[in-house]
Structure 1
Amino acid sequence: MKHDVPPPYTAVERHGVFPEPSHDEAARFDFLANLNKYLSGTLGVGNTRAYETRVLPAFRAEQGRDPADRFEIRHAMNRDPWHRFWSALKRNSMEMRQQNGRQMVLRQLDDLDAKARQFNESRDTLQLDPTVEVPRYQRAVDIHCMPGSYHGEERPGDVSAGANYDCGIFATTAGGLGALSDAGGQALVEWVKRERPGWTPRRILDLGATVGHNIVPLALAFPDAEVVAIDTAAASLRYGHARAQALDATNLTFRQMNADDMAAFDDGTFDWVQTTMYLHELSGSALPRIIREGYRVLAPGGLMFHLEQPAYTDAMPLYEQFIRDWDAFNNNEPFWSAMHGLDVPQIMVDAGFSPDKLFTTGVRAVVDTKVFPQVESKGEEDHGRAAFWHAYGAWKNDRTDA
């Protein structure tokens, strides 16, 4: 297998509620995985070339200066034919991914709902609350072009949103998140065991859990811990709970709750509060509230950890900021750009953390050798196969440090 060829969709690990693809559905996902890889690599290079050889010289000639920010670059690049061509392909690849996943799920929705009920009924580890409202900033757009976003239902009480989300991640990421698309959680487990050997958190809280793919590895790694995953989207929680139960993460509770109001949890309840690629889907007013609430429910000496993409800083070239910003304007991620312009460490300090307890780090996923077997058999490096995240973290002062 060549390094630049994504693994086949058959490498996806089937758990107890995973949608079963037909031959053609799997073939479509294989096509889209390869298209995404081609767009990010071979064709993506053309954006840099267009900027350096056409767009930037034309901007300088017209304005007599270089672009002042990523937004000026975006407006200039949006007039370039190559970038418009590339953007159209990239947007269509996501729409096709959603269409294929939704078709796959709706075709077998009766069976999926029945399987989920077997795992969900009479279990106190799924706690739904119909009084919890999905925030307007989550309702306003179909995030990632998902019809109905995370909370939509084809019919009351179904699991269509979660199933669609789960079945397409592998194609979108070209296998970079592993056979269960849980590389974020696997990376968290590896990081904490390396950084704090022997630490055994008693209670762990995951905010914005969606289908729980990033919290299941923590629940499995710390089987004696009480692990809670919260989200406002009941449709995703139903599927996520069934998925976790099918994977034997029985110490994991899924609870419908808005993270900016966790009054149901006492101060200092959790030893670890974390998110995985969640902050960029929060509005500018919700994000600080959620960080404050996370700080409140975090126990003294506990860990807050956020896996995200890096902030836009003066050290990051404006062109790179522009490319990273693509999702904000083309992939229904309206808060992406603003969030990456925020000073998240300062928001954490404002929430109560001591500046000397903050840290930033990078977290790389371990290559899943079930997906990329040649890495194990040949002892190869990952060659960019594994995902990489920026991370904001902080340890809350012990009572003796206060």
Structure 2
Amino acid sequence: MKQDVPPPYTAVTQHAMFPKPAHDEAARYNFLANFNKHMAGTLGAGNKLAYETRVLPAFRAEHGRNPQDRFEVRHAMNRDPWHRLWSACRRNAMEMRQQNGRSIVLRQLDALDALAREFNAGRDTLTLNPKVAVPRYQAAVDIHCMPGSYHGEERPGDVSAGANYDSGLFATTGGQLGALNDGGGQALVEWIRRERPGWSPRRILDLGATIGHNIVPLAQAFPEAEVVAIDTAAPVLRYGHARAQALGVRNLRFVQMDAEHMEAFPDGHFDWVQTTMYLHELSGKSLPAIIREGVRVLAPGGLMFHLEQPQYSDDMPVFEQFLRDWDAFNNNEPFWSAMHALDLKGIMAEAGLPRDCQFVTGVRAVADRSIFPDAPAPDEEDYGRTARWNAYGAWKPAE
């Protein structure tokens, strides 16, 4: 039976570091979680209807041809009243999510900071470096409308950015990442166990880790491995480390580091280098540099794996490209459009991963039955209950 509605926000399993919502704050998240699902499904379908019945015929009448690319579709659709309404609702939902998350976090920031200090104290698994500069492409915009982005602090040394990020992911995704927002990491574990049964990587590196929600499942799945999560943003690392400690994860180290400059790691140090929904937040200059560094620190025979949305291609309809491009122009994701048009295979090949060692596969988040009790098996249709990604990967040639 199809089940579209996530449970009440307060019923979701939460770890000790998780910000505690008041009644009305939880109610707002309940509304936003279901509103986001409604916009993605029922209301979102109206965009295609508007395109096919109004926008495309008008474009053909004016130009004598079909739109050539996603940009022409966007300019035409931005004049359509249905799409303008849908787009405004979606943008406002994100701003409401951020406002609610900030309210929850700032109301209890003293307690959250104190708890994070308690979890982080005396541990050698959190390394912060104030000399690490925030890249301009990250500092110049509040990514997906998050005030201060990943790097913002209400006061020096706080965890406000990480706590806000964790607090609202459930609402933003309509529960598709699971109760702990770790659907991406759970998907990685399921994929590797299916593709390489019995493989035990000695060292794993997660780039652009934010609060570590996608790497914690890997650390749990490979408790003997040394797992390292890096990011340039200290606030999310403080929170992420405390979150991992609250979940009992001890083999995961959080390090403040720019992925373009990983000189602290020797060549071939890691058996697995990976990202989850990170590449689209990189500039056109930084992305190839980060992939090159990732290949450098990857051991021969090791795995590079990037979870992302699919790249635009000649066989993807321009209308679908336009819809996928929405975040680039409306959700403070300035590199989204350009990144998804890049030749990732070519970039990875130039970095030292030949095309015959590369692969593209589909990955779906593991269904969380605390949210969707009737969720199907991994090989069955999930009716939008869990998030989906494309995975771009390669096994580095053995020397």
Mapped to 1, the partners of 2:177 and 2:208 lie a distance apart of 18
Alpha carbons 1:6, 1:37 under 8 Å: kept: no
Aligned 1:272-311 pairs, distance under 5 A: 272-311=272-311
Alpha carbons 2:2, 2:383 under 8 Å: kept: no
The CA deviation at 1:381 is 5.1
- Return the letter of the residue paired with 2:37: K
Match of 2:103? 103
Mapped to 1, the partners of 2:214 and 2:106 lie a distance apart of 25
- Return the letter of the residue paired with 1:234: A
Alpha carbons 2:291, 2:351 under 8 Å: kept: yes
The CA deviation at 1:41 is 1.3
Aligned residue pairs total: 398
Match of 1:174? 174
The CA deviation at 1:396 is 0.6
Alpha carbons 2:3, 2:372 under 8 Å: kept: no
Mapped to 2, the partners of 1:6 and 1:89 lie a distance apart of 20
> Is residue 139 of structure 1 aligned with residue 139 of structure 2?
yes
> Is residue 267 of structure 1 aligned with residue 267 of structure 2?
yes
The CA deviation at 1:376 is 7.3
Match of 2:223? 223
Alpha carbons 1:7, 1:174 under 8 Å: kept: no
Q: Give secondary structure in 2 for the equivalent of 1:152.
A: coil
The CA deviation at 1:232 is 0.1
The CA deviation at 1:356 is 1.2
Mapped to 2, the partners of 1:131 and 1:244 lie a distance apart of 24
Aligned 1:2-401 pairs, distance under 5 A: 3-375=3-375, 382-399=382-399
Alpha carbons 1:11, 1:179 under 8 Å: kept: no
Q: What CA deviation, in whole Å up to 9, does each residue of 1:283-330 have, x standing for no partner? A: 000000000000000011100000000000011000000000000000
Mapped to 2, the partners of 1:65 and 1:80 lie a distance apart of 19
C-alpha distance 376-191 of structure 1, shift in aligned 2 (>3 A):
closer
Q: Give secondary structure in 2 for the equivalent of 1:178.
A: coil
Mapped to 2, the partners of 1:199 and 1:355 lie a distance apart of 23
- Return the letter of the residue paired with 2:347: I
Mapped to 2, the partners of 1:195 and 1:2 lie a distance apart of 29
Task: Give the alignment's TM-score, normalised by structure 2.
Answer: 0.98
- Return the letter of the residue paired with 1:155: R
Alpha carbons 2:12, 2:370 under 8 Å: kept: no
Q: What CA deviation, in whole Å up to 9, does each residue of 1:109-156 have, x standing for no partner? A: 000001100111121100000000010000111001000000100000
Alpha carbons 1:59, 1:76 under 8 Å: kept: yes
Q: What CA deviation, in whole Å up to 9, does each residue of 1:168-223 have, x standing for no partner? A: 00011111110101010000001001100110000000000000000000000000
Alpha carbons 1:374, 1:380 under 8 Å: kept: no
Mapped to 2, the partners of 1:189 and 1:376 lie a distance apart of 18
The CA deviation at 1:2 is 5.6
The CA deviation at 1:366 is 1.5
Alpha carbons 2:74, 2:322 under 8 Å: kept: yes
Q: Give secondary structure in 1 for the equivalent of 2:307.
A: strand
**Sequence identity (%):** 75
Mapped to 1, the partners of 2:246 and 2:292 lie a distance apart of 34
C-alpha distance 380-21 of structure 1, shift in aligned 2 (>3 A):
farther
* Runs ≥4 residues deviating over 6 A: none
C-alpha distance 26-397 of structure 1, shift in aligned 2 (>3 A):
same
- Return the letter of the residue paired with 2:384: G
Mapped to 2, the partners of 1:259 and 1:13 lie a distance apart of 32
- Return the letter of the residue paired with 2:167: C
The CA deviation at 1:28 is 0.2
The CA deviation at 1:375 is 2.9
- Return the letter of the residue paired with 1:317: P
Q: Give secondary structure in 1 for the equivalent of 2:287.
A: helix
Q: Give secondary structure in 2 for the equivalent of 1:41.
A: helix
C-alpha distance 60-182 of structure 1, shift in aligned 2 (>3 A):
same
Mapped to 1, the partners of 2:12 and 2:213 lie a distance apart of 13
Q: Give secondary structure in 2 for the equivalent of 1:360.
A: strand
Mapped to 2, the partners of 1:114 and 1:202 lie a distance apart of 34
- Return the letter of the residue paired with 2:94: M
Which one is further off, 39-48 or 6-15? 6-15
Q: Give secondary structure in 1 for the equivalent of 2:42.
A: coil
Alpha carbons 1:151, 1:233 under 8 Å: kept: yes
- Return the letter of the residue paired with 2:188: L
Alpha carbons 1:128, 1:234 under 8 Å: kept: yes
Mapped to 1, the partners of 2:298 and 2:324 lie a distance apart of 32
- Return the letter of the residue paired with 2:124: D
Mapped to 1, the partners of 2:384 and 2:365 lie a distance apart of 10
- Return the letter of the residue paired with 1:250: R
Give unmatched runs, 5+ long, in structure 2.
Answer: none
Alpha carbons 1:369, 1:376 under 8 Å: kept: no
- Return the letter of the residue paired with 1:233: A
Q: Give secondary structure in 2 for the equivalent of 1:42.
A: helix
The CA deviation at 1:382 is 2.4
Q: What CA deviation, in whole Å up to 9, does each residue of 1:47-88 have, x standing for no partner? A: 111111111111111111100100000001011111111111
Mapped to 1, the partners of 2:181 and 2:326 lie a distance apart of 23
Q: Give secondary structure in 2 for the equivalent of 1:210.
A: coil
- Return the letter of the residue paired with 1:348: M
- Return the letter of the residue paired with 2:311: A
- Return the letter of the residue paired with 2:313: T
The CA deviation at 1:374 is 2.9
